[in-house]
A and B are shown apart, each in its own frame.
Chain A
Amino acid sequence: MNTQLLLIQVFNGLVNGAFYALLSLGLAVIFGMLRIVNFMHGALYMLGAFTAFALGQAFGLGFWPSLILAPIIVALLGMVLERTLLSRLYGLDPSYNLLLTFGLTLLTQDLVKQVMLSQYAVSSAPYTPPAALAGVVNLGFVVFPKYRLFVIALSLVLCLLTWFVIEKTRVGAIIRASTENPGVTRAFGIDVGKWVTGVFGVGVGLAGLAGVLAAPIYSVEPYMGSELIITTFAVVVIGGLGSILGSVVTGFAVGVLAAVGAAIYPPIANTLVFILMALVLLVRPSGLFGLPEGTR
């Protein structure tokens, strides 16, 4: 493979990696705080894209306001679900929350489909990049769409921001404390329950944001998140469950590796991430950045 093709694949991989990173970051934040794996993450990503579409249809809102509003709406919905449904299962085996969110995924996908069918006769929604980012830019080695460069940049900024908030601020300290020892944190007069809902909201909000970002370039349809979520699970396992840094680094790395791998040997594209996962697990059962299981 020549250098030019390699560079092209790296850029393509970064775009996919941006989505993996945003999604696995949300999963990691939620897992860190609540110890649950949110199977619904893919469905919420899909809801983010459809919310952007609906905002455009109902209020004529374009991409930019939707980029802010849609994730907030998804986050609020997530918080309602957390308060009304997920919270009923705290204290039980975390498997039950995985199963609950699995059921909610099936439900959400088909609900969106039925609503779309009743309104538009097709279940997919058209969506185009914003005018300011339409078109392509010459990078020297390749002509690349502007919008995709924006996706990479925004995703990187958001990931860094989340990492900064959690590692360096007081809010982050509280979150980390309530993750590691809810009892002691509560003794300091901090309402852990309130933080749980907020953190869940932020996590699913990131999924919603990824969905809005995906809407202009990927097909907006009710099952758009169903295969993606499983790849994201593999990314999270490679990175180490609950590790913020791990999820971001692995997200981008897996995106790039899969793109380069697909160029070298195409049939491997969809399985590469799972092969990577198996290899990592052989060497480090708790993932690249995860702490050994006993210490969590």
Chain B
Amino acid sequence: MQKKTLTALLSTAALAAVTVALAQSAKLSDNVVRVGVLTDLSGVYSELSGQGSVKAAQMAAADFMAQNPSFKGKVQVIGVDHQNKADVASNKAAEMIDRQNVDMLVDLPTSSAALAASEIAKQKKIPALVVTGGTTALTNEKCNKYTFHYAYDNYMLANGTGTAVTKRGGNSWYIIYPNYAFGQDLNKQMVAAITENGGKIVAPSDATPFPNTDFSSYLLKAQGLKPKVFGTMQAGADLVNVVKQYNEFGLRQQGIGLGIGLLFETDVAALGQDAYAGALATVPWYWNMDQRARDWAAKFEKAFGKKPTWAQAGTYSATMTYLQAVARAKTDNGDAVVKALEGHRFSDFFARNASIRPQDHRVLLDVYTVQVKPKAQAKENGDYFNRVATIPAARAFQPLSESKCKM
């Protein structure tokens, strides 16, 4: 009797599984889910995303297949170089969708390329998960039904660092920012976060030319103002110049700390971590933040030969989140996957306590304010950060009430 029931139950379950599997395979376009990693394989972002992001997406595809044996389709990853040009990004995004039947776009470094690809995603009705592009426009005036913003954005960077540093006693600031949209935006958010938390801006923030190599006049001004924190909203090569000259002018020895708007692991590597020692910044992830992150990082390093950056880890996580949504929706149809993504709650090695806000498609996750350790304290190569604060997902990003998104 009991045995019969068990057999019946088992066969029903098997039948159900087969039906689900059949249904799945029937609804996948041509039986293959194609992940399009549109990234910078040759320019300035190639070091922090590039081939590493393609590899991360491939790992996500392989892991997904291993974890979902009932999934009958195949997953294919296609990596394309947008050469940091918005027109190439737009053209290749459309071509990948039309000609190679790509079902989603992921990574998308640099704002202009991310916005261009997001526009194509909207036209072609397929999801785009922006990881390495940072502009808040993606979840504000330029938001659309098919675009999701995954890892970080300007608001999260400024809010995280401004709040955490001010609360830790770094309550008087002098800020410089590069005079273009990214820098202006970052500065505005940073000033707001500092003043809200009772900090003081000792002199109006200065806009620096962009691109710029020599920041001496601002560093000399900081010397005179003696704020507790010198905030730099520069990015990439400009940031490296600021930090190099911050050391040259000896600001650290004069008790002036360094607060950084956007810091990638590659920026630290460019000068060595001693040049950054003590500097504070906010990141969505770093490879040795805990055991779970380290486990994944070890797998990545084995496959790729380098420690993962947060952009690469984010690309893995975004790809996996997308594939799981495909599995839940049982189709790779864009509209259905978007519906499966909206409101989804999850937690993986990268995105902790994460949820996808349906109203503006901001992916909310815990983020971390970190301090760069001196080389002497590093236990191994690439051990850059000490965590000083965890900003919970609910408070890390722009509140919905401030969003300009109309979908």
Contacts and interface: CB of A to CB of B under 8 A. Distances in A.
A15 B272 CA distance: 25
Interface in B235-267: 237, 240-241, 244-245, 247-250, 266
Contacts of B185: none
Contacts of A221: 237, 240, 270
B216 A219 contact: no
Contacts of B213: 218-219, 224, 228
B216 A121 contact: no
Given A219-B237, A221-B237, A266-B207, A124 B216 contact: no
Interface residues of B, number: 33
Contacts of B207: 266-267
B209 A269 contact: yes
B214 interface: yes
A223 B237 contact: yes
B217 A227 contact: no
Contacts of A128: 247
Contact of A218 (B44, B179, B206, B214): B214
B149 to A, nearest CB: 27
A41 interface: no
Nearest to A262: B209
Contacts of B306: 121
Interface string B178-212: 01000000000000000000000000001111111
Interface string A217-244: 1110101100110000000000000000
B269 interface: yes
Interface stretch (A63-71, A96-104, A139-147, A182-190): A139-147
Contact of A122 (B208, B250, B266): B266
A9 interface: yes
Interface in B98-116: none
B237 A129 contact: no
Contact of B269 (A121, A129, A144, A224): A121
Nearest to B241: A219
B271 A124 contact: yes
A95 interface: no
Contact of B271 (A8, A126, A227): A126
A117 interface: yes
A136 B247 CA distance: 11
A65 to B, nearest CB: 21
Interface secondary structure of A, over-half rule: mixed
Contacts of B250: 135-136, 145
A52 to B, nearest CB: 15
A282 to B, nearest CB: 25
A120 B223 CA distance: 34
Interface string A104-123: 00000010000001001111
A129 B245 CA distance: 11
A219 B217 contact: no
A266 B47 contact: no
B214 A15 contact: yes
Contact of B211 (A142, A143, A145, A227): A227
Nearest to B207: A266
A202 to B, nearest CB: 25
A8 B220 contact: yes
B283 to A, nearest CB: 17
A8 B249 CA distance: 14
B275 interface: yes
Interface string A254-265: 000001001100
A145 B248 contact: yes
Contacts of B249: 136, 145
B245 A217 contact: yes
Nearest to A218: B213
B217 A259 contact: yes
B248 A123 contact: no
Interface centre among A123, A124, A262 (most CB of B within 10 A): A124
A284 B269 CA distance: 48
Contact of A8 (B208, B209, B217): B217
B45 to A, nearest CB: 12
Contacts of B220: 8, 12, 142-144
A269 B210 CA distance: 9
B334 to A, nearest CB: 36
A126 B275 CA distance: 9
A169 interface: no
B109 to A, nearest CB: 15
A16 B47 contact: no
Contacts of A135: 250
A117 B47 contact: yes
A219 B248 contact: no
Interface in A1-28: 8-9, 12, 15-16
Contacts of B209: 262, 266-267, 269-270
A15 B216 contact: yes
B141 to A, nearest CB: 24
B179 A266 contact: yes
B248 A124 contact: no
Contacts of B241: 218-219
Interface of B: 42, 44, 47, 179, 206-214, 216-217, 220, 223, 237, 240-241, 244-245, 247-250, 266, 269-272, 275, 306
26 contacts: A12-B216, A12-B217, A15-B214, A117-B47, A121-B306, A122-B266, A124-B270, A126-B271, A128-B247, A135-B250, A143-B223, A145-B249, A145-B250, A147-B248, A148-B216, A216-B248, A221-B240, A227-B211, A228-B213, A262-B217, A263-B217, A266-B206, A266-B208, A267-B209, A269-B208, A269-B212
Given A126-B272, A262-B209, 9 more contacts: A12-B214, A121-B269, A126-B270, A144-B220, A145-B250, A216-B248, A217-B245, A262-B217, A269-B208
Give the top 7 A-B pairs by smallest Cβ distance, nearest first: A124-B270, A269-B209, A219-B240, A122-B269, A270-B209, A219-B241, A126-B272
